[in-house]
Amino acid sequence: MKRSIFAVLGAAVAAMTPLSAPLADDAAGFYKGKTLSVYVGVSPGGLYSTFAQMAARHMGQYIPGNPTVIVQHMPGAGGTKAVSYVYSVAPKDGSVAITPNSAVDKRVVLKIGNPKYDPSKMRWLGGWGESVYTLSVRNDAPAKTIAQAKETEIVLGAIGKSSGPYLVPALMNSTLGTKFKIISGYRGGSPIRLAVEKGEVHGWCGQWLGWKLAKPDWVRDGKLAHLVQLASKRAPDLPDVPLLVEFAQNDEERAMFKFVQTGIADRAFVLPPNVPDDRAKALSEAYFKLLKDPKFLAEAKKHKYNIDPIAGEDIQNYVEEIMALPEETVAKLRKAMGLI
């Protein structure tokens, strides 16, 4: 991926390079007897909170000075309330980090709400894996492929009109000519999956992990048909499901679909701007040690989390790239998604 102008990645380098003794000593002196607060933009429970709680139990041993690691929940505004707080208000001394909700970077690009942060100025230390979304329907739905969805109406559930479950099908309707009827107003993935189970809607565009956790029998028994998946590459357990970008009809659609489908920033560990380099490096190295910790991995396996580490540099470059999208492309995206 092309490197952008913002290149402040001591965090990513630290994931691969041992800390020098002076830097390690400086960080240890700061963190000894301190608390590292990890913010989560949702209520307790669920994907992000569970990961943060697991990290809090195991990460402190790998941070110089062995601070206590605690989780702070700050739900609101699709996760942007917590990001805005960490970015603008919280201390910038390395005592605060965040595991942000998915798409908090994309919300800024798309001008959704009024985010008060610049994702490219934050320090993306790394990620534990890429989020994979699928547009999935019941296997008895009247259309089970994109080609069929261009001819036959499919009813999909969604949350709000600024949420991914609404915006992605809306984009596909505008660009590919699909006939998705999108019913918004559901209060999360669980109510939508229940509506699918009851037959109120045919399906929805949501996290693939959600189906695996909530309805493993449906996954096992083939009760779902997946029309498309959203990720930077096909998921190992969805080898025959096409990526959204595979349906692009020209270069502009390819850029738009790549923006929508890539989720490498969606499961990250992030610091606010201006954290001292020695502390950022210490936290980066500790984070990647955490992702290899046997006890942590055992917990992750129990929750069916696939730990597939992503370097901070890759995430940082991606975030900077989407922040530099031409205004013309962003305007077309917003229009195609129904945001304007």
Q: What's the CA gap between 269 and 310, in Å, rounded?
A: 10
Rounded-to-integer distance, Cα 277 and Cα 132, Å: 32
Query: Could you tell me which of 52, 96, 102 has the C-alpha nearest to residue 80?
Result: 102
Residue 33 gets the label, from left (phi > 0), alpha (psi -120 to 50) or beta, of: left
CATH code, 10-129+264-324: 3.40.190.150
Q: What CA–CA distance (Å, rounded) separates 133 from 123?
A: 25
Say whether 133-261 and 10-129+264-324 share the same fold: yes
Q: Can you give the pTM of this predicted structure?
A: 0.84
Sign of CA dihedral 163, 164, 169, 170: positive
Neighbours of 9 (CB within 10 A): 22
Which CATH number is 133-261 given?
A: 3.40.190.10
89 backbone dihedrals φ, ψ, rounded to 5° = -110, -45
Phi and psi angles of residue 135, each rounded to the nearest 5 degrees, phi first = -95, 100
Enter the tokens of residue 321.
């790239």
Those residues with Cβ within 8 angstroms of residue 45's Cβ, 6 or more apart along the chain or in another chain: none
**Residues 6 or more apart in contact with residue 225 via CB below 8 angstroms:** 136, 137, 138, 139, 141, 144, 145
Supply 146's token pair.
């994109």
Q: Which residue's structure tokens are 């005592």? A: 95
Q: What is the DSSP letter of 326?
A: -
Q: What is the pLDDT along the chain (340 residues), one digit of tens a residue?
A: 444 433 333 333 334 444 444 555 799 999 999 999 999 998 898 889 999 999 999 999 999 999 999 999 999 888 999 999 999 999 999 999 999 999 999 999 999 988 999 999 999 999 999 999 999 999 999 999 999 999 999 999 998 898 899 999 999 999 999 999 999 999 888 899 999 999 999 999 999 998 998 899 999 999 999 999 999 999 999 999 999 999 999 998 999 999 999 999 999 999 999 999 999 999 999 999 999 999 999 999 998 899 999 999 999 999 999 999 999 999 999 999 999 8
269 by DSSP, 3-state: which?
A: strand
Q: Domain ranges in the chain? A: 10-129+264-324, 133-261
